[in-house]
Amino acid sequence: MLELFHAAPSYYSMVARLALAEAGVAYVSRLMDIHLAKQQLSPAYRKLNPHMTVPTLRGPGLLLTDSAQILIYAAQQAAQRPEQSWADVDASRAEAIQRAVAGHYALSIETLTFGKVLATRPWFKAVMVRMLSGINAKLERDIAGKPDQAALLEAKVQQNRARLAVFRDRPAPAVLAEQQDQVAAYLASLPPVVASGWLFGARISSADVVLAVLCSRLAMAGELALLSRADLQSWWQRYQQRPAFAAADLWTRFQRRRFVQSLLEARHTRFS
């Protein structure tokens, strides 16, 4: 049986959940607390996923540590069931689909999300700076104690320094405006969608999966106005009706109670 290590409100976890739901791949849910307990930094999870991020998909002879890999795996699984296969199997469309997926992965969803939070709730900056500095202090202690893992831990420290350089040192409205421009340019680059179809024809594709998660995040961040194209708005309305959309638990608003519940549930998750 496959196990998906993921966090309820996490963007890339949602990519994995939607990809697996669209491909009809069943898995056991292993919820993680990446926010307060920070289970992604624990030595046991680090062994599973050295990037210390979610999602991770584990199964017999399978370990995928990135949502992009899980998306490819899901497309391959879908291809094995003709009634569920995605447009990705169509050689004439594969390259354009891959470009659309790569364009999505070039966006910094985290910068968009927290740029918005900080632009609208400036008090959150102190919380975020304290959190990132605290994590780095802990990682630096770990580096001293575990020289064999120093390179990976050091990479995480550098990533947090880069986050501080954006969220602490730059004005949030400028950070947000930059991300809004990038998302707008990405959305403008997508192909025109015909009524009742998906991005690349009559079947969904990997690009539809990532666009659905992007739209969910834009909705949650109050940035859905960036979806200005009428064809994409109608695509988004239709996508939300797909059974996989509900099955994948895509968050279009922050659900405080469910967030807390997921943190409690995550306490029981083991990684070995």
Residue 112 touching ligand GSH (CB under 6 A): no
Query: Between residues 67 and 136, which has the closer beta carbon with respect to ligand GSH?
Result: 67
Which CB, 46 or 203, lies closer to ligand GSH? 46
Token output for 60 = 């017999």
* 34 makes contact with ligand GSH (CB under 6 A): yes
Considering only 5, 8, 11, 251, the residue that binds ligand GSH (CB under 6 A) is 11
Closest distance of CB 182 from ligand GSH, Å:
17
- Rule CB under 6 A: choose which of 19, 57, 68, 221 binds ligand GSH: 68
Among 8, 30, 33, 66, binds ligand GSH (CB under 6 A): 66
Q: Minimum distance between the CB of residue 49 and ligand GSH, rounded to whole angstroms?
A: 9
Whether 55 contacts 74, CB under 8 Å = no
Q: Which of 10, 39, 85, 111 binds ligand GSH (CB under 6 A)?
A: 10
Judged by CB under 6 A, the stretch of 7-15, 91-99, 178-186, 188-196 that binds ligand GSH is: 7-15
List residues near ligand GSH by CB under 6 A: 10-12, 34, 40, 52-55, 66-68
